Amino acid sequence: MKRILITGGAGFLGSHLCDRFIKEGYHVIAMDNLITGDLKNIEHLFKLEHFEFYHHDVSKFIHVPGELDYILHFASPASPIDYLKIPIQTLKVGSLGIHNCLGLARVKNARVLIASTSEVYGDPTVHPQPEEYWGNVNPVGPRGVYDEAKRFQEAMTMAYHTYHGLETRIVRIFNTYGPRMRLNDGRVLPAFIGQALRGEDLTMFGDGSQTRAFCFVDDLVEGIYRLLLSDYPHPVNIGNPDEITIKEFGEEIIKLTGTSQKLISLPLPTDDPKQRKPDITKAKSILGWEPKVSRAEGLKITYEYFKSLSPDDLHRMAH
């Protein structure tokens, strides 16, 4: 039986990855310090023989007994609200955290896949963004703590590959959504749906002309699964290229939820990227992957999830 360590395993993406690897017959070890994650995301796995949870900060030395075949490094605050609140921890998990994972991988002779991000492209001047684009990041702006941590993480991972011959994979994840996002994580989808559910106006930042392209979580997980098992060590974009302005997105959420509230405009955060859309040519040709779930389908599933939360959970995740 293959054994896999998933850091950030109690988070949104990490918990979906735990589910997928359990389904594929792996022994899954989730590691998380719960700084932005939630045990509720994985509590359904606790009763399984082949699932373990370690409450641990991966920026500190990692000890895992037994063999390991794979390590997925997903631990990191991921939403602007989170990484602006805990900037130093964000920098540490992207630097010390990945160093610990890579060191552990050498000892165990394991393959490492890291969660990088479209934020390595910053506020991109090339559109859509192919992997060859080096990006446009402001290292000392507020988002620099996240973007530069992820860029360092890529460099460190590539160095272990080049100089130590370690098997490594790098996925550049574009905006992903789905069940188990935190309603109060500040990202646009939970923000808008949460506001609609509470009967508040939807807070659009700026004039809403900035664009994003949203990928449903199941599609992302499939792409990551294929990348891990591939032999490709260079970065691969995984995302859904169906681009939309934030204003149009807000209008879609208003329609989906049937809310009588409206979009209101608040100031645009500093360095908010004006446009973003993945070029997925590589994922298509190397992994035979492309997204299957349309935004309409994915939004419906996600809205049903938020509606099904208990009043206690809704209250806990309100602000």
- Residues with a catalytic annotation lie at 146
Q: At what angle do helices 217-229 and 12-23 cross, to 10 degrees?
A: 60
Q: How far apart are CA 64 and CA 3, in angstroms?
A: 11
Q: Which is nearer to ligand NAD, 157 or 259 (CB)?
A: 157
Q: Name the minimum Å distance from CB 75 to ligand NAD.
A: 3
Site string for ligand UDP, 131-170 (x = CB under 6 A): ----------------------------------------
Q: Which is nearer to ligand NAD, 87 or 261 (CB)?
A: 87
Q: Which is nearer to ligand NAD, 259 or 293 (CB)?
A: 293
Residue 214 CB-half CA count within 13 A: 22
Q: Find which of ligand NAD, ligand UDP, none residue 275 binds, CB within 5 to 8 Å per kind.
A: none
Does 176 contact ligand UDP by CB under 6 A? no
In sequence order, the 6+-apart residues with CB closer than 8 A to the CB of 294 are 242
Number of residues that bind ligand UDP (CB under 6 A): 15
Does 28 contact ligand NAD by CB under 6 A? no
Does 212 contact ligand UDP by CB under 6 A? yes
Does 272 contact ligand UDP by CB under 6 A? yes
Q: Name the minimum Å distance from CB 57 to ligand NAD.
A: 4
Q: Of 130, 135, 141, 269, which one interacts with ligand UDP (CB under 6 A)?
A: 269
In this structure, what token pair is assigned to residue 26? 């792996």
Q: Find which of ligand NAD, ligand UDP, none residue 149 binds, CB within 5 to 8 Å per kind.
A: none
Say if CB 5 and CB 64 are below 8 A apart. yes
Number of residues that bind ligand NAD (CB under 6 A): 28
Q: How far apart are CA 18 and CA 14, in angstroms?
A: 6
Residue 198 CB-half CA count within 13 A: 18
Does 203 contact ligand UDP by CB under 6 A? yes
Q: Find which of ligand UDP, ligand NAD, none residue 32 binds, CB within 5 to 8 Å per kind.
A: ligand NAD
In sequence order, the 6+-apart residues with CB closer than 8 A to the CB of 76 are 8, 83, 90, 93, 94, 97, 115, 146, 149, 150
In sequence order, the 6+-apart residues with CB closer than 8 A to the CB of 275 are 124, 127, 210, 211, 243
Does 12 contact ligand NAD by CB under 6 A? yes
Other CB atoms within 10 Å distance of the CB of residue 89: 22
Q: How far apart are CA 235 and CA 116, in angstroms?
A: 8
* Contacting positions for ligand UDP (CB under 6 A): 79-80, 175, 186-188, 191, 203-205, 210, 212, 246, 269, 272
